[in-house]
Structure 1
Amino acid sequence: MANSEKYVQPAIPRFGSHYNFWSMTMTMENFLRSRELWSLVEEGILAMTVGTSTSEAQRKAVEEANLKDLKVKNFLFQAIERKILEIVLDKSTSKATWESMRKKHQGSTKVKRAQLQALRKEFELLAIKEGEKIDIFLGKTLAVVDKIKINGEVIDQSTIVCKILRSLTVKFNYVVCSIKESNDLSTISIDELHGSLLVHEQRMNGKSRL
């Protein structure tokens, strides 16, 4: 019996306002890696002059490399908006196209450092407000974590877990102690923590209605 399932090609990641997220955070790079084309962006086309002494195999290799590079450029052109496209249309290779976008949109090291510093401070100052839902607070916390990741720094899961636990109000003291005593905070997932806190929140809300 023929397999009726059809392979669905992943969509080309569209370029937004965040170069780092589009290029490095498992989006466009992964898209090209999945097609074994990333080396053309990373290393470029190996220089090879086609002359009268060039073998048929070498000539074919050059043609294949140029065709693959053209395919990568086509993917990049489909991913970016027209106003950005006009800036990179004159680039001869996919590597040159990518490098042009990186220089224009990634920003200087100084600016990125300032952004990260501000985001780290925002992360440290996060605290749940009185009456604020767990879902809302975790959403805000993970949004800041994502912004930090977009700017090139990854916060490990255990750091996020510990931050959430120490940012809760006193009414969560019982469940925080329980979680710390019964779990290894270096291995507990954010989803597991979220579930435990939600159960505790629901119990408290149930008691308050009695």
Structure 2
Amino acid sequence: MLTKTNYFDWALLMKVKLRARLLWTAIEKGGVEPHEDMQAFDALCSAVPPEMWPVIANKETAKEAWEAIVTMRIGNDRIKKTSAQNLRRQFDSATFKEGESVEDYALRLNSMASTLTTLGDKVEETQVVEKIIRSVPQRFRQIVVAITMLLDVSTLTVANLTGRLKAAEDDFEEPPSAMHHDGKLYLTEEEWDARRRKRDAEKTGGGGSSSMADMGAGAGAAVAATRARHQAA
């Protein structure tokens, strides 16, 4: 159901549903048979809130009804153009976020590409593929070089590329008990305690050996002094 904030997701889903029913032409181009147009019209009415029914019910065709919905939700052509320009800049400057996985990054780019297409700035799948290849973190560089050398990037899909990079991502395993941040290694509290106990044990062991040696040396000196007194007497 269309809401005030989900137009782009709604439009994508409606396109899929209408294409599945062979009715998308009524929205995209118009000029279809009357019964097909009415079927598309009925599908639109079923997918919008009741307060929008009076607005679209007065339209002559399903195409006009769709355009009315677009205007109400995202504005006129000037507003759509401005929105598309802003989103295009976001798409072009997008990079991996801290801790973002390959799959999440690809989904984020796909979402922007879909919205841009809805706004009239069509983004081809090859553009999304090339964007991912250009913006992957350094740890993926060797994988990307191999992909571009061995495969035809122009025929590569986002799903295929994401799958290959995700397989490599899964191999980048972190040490099980250590944590990394900004290139530094941090130990857990348990590991620090273990290290402290080990150092304390080493100090105690070393100190004990030294004390025993001192005691042995003192006893030897006492015996030697006693013998010297007896000889003098």
Query: Does 1:189 pair with 2:177?
Result: no
What TM-score do you get using the length of structure 1 for normalisation? 0.65
Q: Which residue identity is paired with 2:164?
A: S
How many residue pairs are counted as aligned between the two chains?
Answer: 173
Moved more, 186-195 or 17-26: 17-26
Residue 88 and residue 179 in structure 1: after superposition, are their counterparts in 2 closer, same or farther (change >3 A)?
Answer: closer
Which residue of the partner structure matches residue 6 of structure 1?
none
Query: Does 1:30 pair with 2:13?
Result: no
1:19–1:106 Cα contact (<8 Å) kept: no
- Alignment deviations for residues 37-90 of structure 1 (CA, whole Å, 9 cap, x no partner): 939x92489xxxxxxxxxxxxxxxxxxx5x77666554443232111113344x
Residue 142 and residue 179 in structure 1: after superposition, are their counterparts in 2 closer, same or farther (change >3 A)?
Answer: same
**Runs (5+) with no aligned partner, structure 2:** 178-233
- Alignment deviations for residues 168-198 of structure 1 (CA, whole Å, 9 cap, x no partner): 1111111011111111111111111111101
- Counterpart of 2:133 (choices 152, 165, 168) is 165
Q: Whose RCO is larger (CA < 8 A, sep 6+)?
A: 1
1:37–1:68 Cα contact (<8 Å) kept: no
What TM-score do you get using the length of structure 2 for normalisation? 0.59
**Structure ranking higher in helix proportion:** 2
- Counterpart of 1:205 (choices 165, 173, 181) is 173
Q: Which has the larger radius of gyration?
A: 2
1:18–1:150 Cα contact (<8 Å) kept: no
Rounded to whole Å, the distance in 2 between the matches of 1:140 and 1:19 is 14
Which residue of the partner structure matches residue 126 of structure 1?
94
Rounded to whole Å, the distance in 1 between the matches of 2:32 and 2:156 is 42
Which residue of the partner structure matches residue 18 of structure 1?
7
2:2–2:48 Cα contact (<8 Å) kept: yes
Q: Which residue identity is paired with 1:175?
A: I
- Report the identity percentage: 18
Rounded to whole Å, the distance in 1 between the matches of 2:52 and 2:25 is 22
